[in-house]
Amino acid sequence: MSQIYGKVALIGLGLIAGSMAHAMRAAGLVGHIAGHAKSAESRDVALQLFCDSVAVTAAEAVRDADLIVLAVPVGAMGAIAAEIAPHLKPGAVVTDVGSVKGAVVEAVAPHIPAGVHFIPGHPLAGTEYSGPRSGFATLFQNRWWLLTPLPESDAAAIAQLRALLEGIGANVDEMDVAHHDLVLAVVSHVPHAIAYTMVGVADHMRRVSQSEVIKYSASGFRDFTRIAASDPVMWRDVFLTNKDAVLDILGRFTEELFVLQRAIRMEDGEHLHAYFTKTRAIRRGIIEAGQDTAAPDFGRGAEPTKGS
CATH 3.90.1150.10 fits 5-175, yes or no: no
Q: Check residue 140 and report its DSSP letter.
A: T
Three-state DSSP class for residue 213: helix
Cα separation of 188 and 246, whole Å?
10
Domain layout of the chain by residue ranges: 5-175, 179-266
Write out pLDDT tens, residues 59-114. 999 999 999 999 999 999 999 999 999 999 999 999 999 999 999 999 999 999 99
Tell me, what's the pLDDT at 129? Answer: 80
The whole-model pTM stands at 0.82
Tell me, what's the pLDDT at 203? Answer: 73
CATH 1.10.620.20 fits 179-266, yes or no: no
State which residues of the chain have pLDDT below 50. 298-308
Strand-by-strand arrangement of the 144-147 sheet: 121-123, 144-147, 171-174
| Concatenated DSSP letters of 59-111 | HHHHTT-SEEEE-S-GGGHHHHHHHHGGGPPTT-EEEE--S-SHHHHHHHGGG
